[in-house]
């Protein structure tokens, strides 16, 4: 049992059988799996008194669930990916290069934390990266490209290349902590490589993906996205729209430097809407604003057109292809390519 003098219950009390507040590792392993206990240990600051109990373990299980779901999504997405389809870093869209820049930025943090036996930093860094940057941002944006673009799409292949690099690094970085989960995932991910993730080394060469200028540019883009998503959330709350794909936001930008940053960016893609419009100048008084992002305001308008039966985007171009009258031209091309390959999509 976890009963030594430095392990306390959730209320900060010393564990004892008489209080009935002890936690048996064997029971945790039986109920939730050994990786849950390993994750709790690694997420705990061992320089201070450790606390454990049902609620703390519940939070640990939720952290594990999110990490596992992200890994499972990457494995599913990469199931049919072939290494021969890799896209070179210089040929990738900016969003993929940004994600690889962020991956590279964590390399030194992870290595230093492991060298210092600072497992809490490893868990916090990877959990934040996988939940906030990947699942809630990059994966969310790229689902449309991955699911709906034609097989020949460079953007789709670049996304798969990026996810492959992300999955490789994350499984190796998490292996000392989630040893059983990552080993199971590794055998699915690399069935013809090393028989165990624990026979591999941490990834090398990720520093080549660093691009600080690109990261600075995307900080501005993501701030604009925050204003758009805030406006969309209010419209959803008011039941004016259901999905964000029902919207075509009008984005007012007063600052010319910000405007220039947005020039070559598809904000409909980044904000997961069907269309968008950027206008220079001050916005109407009723526009949505965020104090933290001055000079940007949004008025949400309804998207115009028909709903694509495949991507669910509302576009005026749906029906232009007579062979596939219920989808957009992009999706019609995808269906045509999949049909030629003998695959139903």
Q: What is the DSSP string of 305-328?
A: SEE-TTT--EETTTT-STTSTTS-
pLDDT score of 54: 73
pLDDT score of 22: 59
Assign domain 212-304 to a CATH class.
Answer: alpha beta
Q: What is the pTM of this model?
A: 0.91
| Residue 299 and residue 289 in contact, taking contact as beta carbons nearer than 8 Å | no
pLDDT score of 57: 84
Beta strand 247-253 with 277-280 is parallel
| Number of Cβ atoms within 10 Å of the Cβ of 298 | 26
Structure tokens that stand for 241 in this block: 């729209």
For residue range 200-212, list pLDDT tens digits in order: 999 999 999 999 9
Longest Cα pair distance anywhere in the chain, in angstroms?
Answer: 77
Q: Domain-by-domain residue ranges, the chain?
A: 7-209, 212-304
For residue range 217-258, list pLDDT tens digits in order: 999 999 999 999 999 999 999 999 999 999 999 999 999 999
pLDDT score of 91: 97
pLDDT score of 26: 74
* Residue 58: band (very low, low, confident or very high) from pLDDT cuts 50, 70, 90: confident
Q: What percent of the chain is predicted at pLDDT more than 90? A: 82
Q: Can you tell me which residue has the tokens 């059988």?
A: 17
pLDDT score of 3: 41
Which CATH code for domain 7-209? 1.10.730.20
> Is residue 1's pLDDT more than 50?
no
């Amino acid at each position: 049992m976890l009963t030594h003098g430095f392990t306390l219950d959730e209320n900060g009390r010393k564990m004892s059988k008489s209080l009935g507040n002890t936690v048996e590792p064997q029971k945790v392993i039986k109920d939730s799996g050994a990786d849950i206990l390993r994750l709790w240990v690694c997420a705990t600051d061992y320089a201070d008194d450790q606390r454990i109990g049902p609620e703390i373990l519940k939070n640990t299980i939720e952290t594990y669930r999110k990490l596992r779901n992200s890994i499972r999504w990457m494995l599913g997405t990469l199931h049919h990916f072939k290494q021969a389809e890799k896209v070179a870093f210089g040929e990738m869209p900016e969003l993929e290069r940004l994600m690889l820049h962020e991956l590279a930025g964590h390399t030194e943090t992870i290595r230093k934390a492991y060298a210092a036996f600072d497992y809490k930093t490893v868990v916090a860094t990877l959990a934040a990266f996988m939940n906030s940057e990947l699942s809630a941002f990059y994966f969310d944006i790229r689902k449309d490209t991955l699911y709906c673009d034609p097989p020949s799409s460079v953007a789709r292949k670049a996304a798969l290349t990026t996810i492959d690099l992300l999955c490789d690094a994350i499984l190796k970085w998490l292996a000392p902590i989630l040893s059983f989960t990552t080993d199971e995932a590794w055998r699915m991910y690399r069935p013809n490589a090393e028989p165990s993730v624990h026979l591999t080394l941490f990834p090398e060469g990720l520093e080549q993906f660093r691009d600080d200028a690109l990261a600075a540019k995307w900080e501005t883009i993501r701030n604009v996205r925050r204003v758009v998503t805030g406006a969309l959330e209010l419209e959803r709350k008011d039941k004016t729209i259901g999905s964000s794909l029902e919207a075509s936001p009008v984005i007012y930008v007063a600052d010319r430097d910000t405007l220039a940053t947005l020039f070559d960016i598809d904000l409909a893609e980044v904000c997961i809407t069907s269309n968008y419009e950027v206008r220079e100048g001050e916005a109407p008084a009723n526009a949505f604003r965020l104090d933290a992002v001055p000079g940007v305001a949004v008025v949400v308008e309804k998207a115009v057109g028909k709903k694509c039966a495949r991507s669910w985007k509302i576009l005026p171009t749906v029906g232009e292809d007579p062979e596939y009258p219920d989808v957009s031209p992009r999706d019609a091309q995808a269906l045509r390519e999949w049909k030629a390959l003998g695959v139903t999509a």
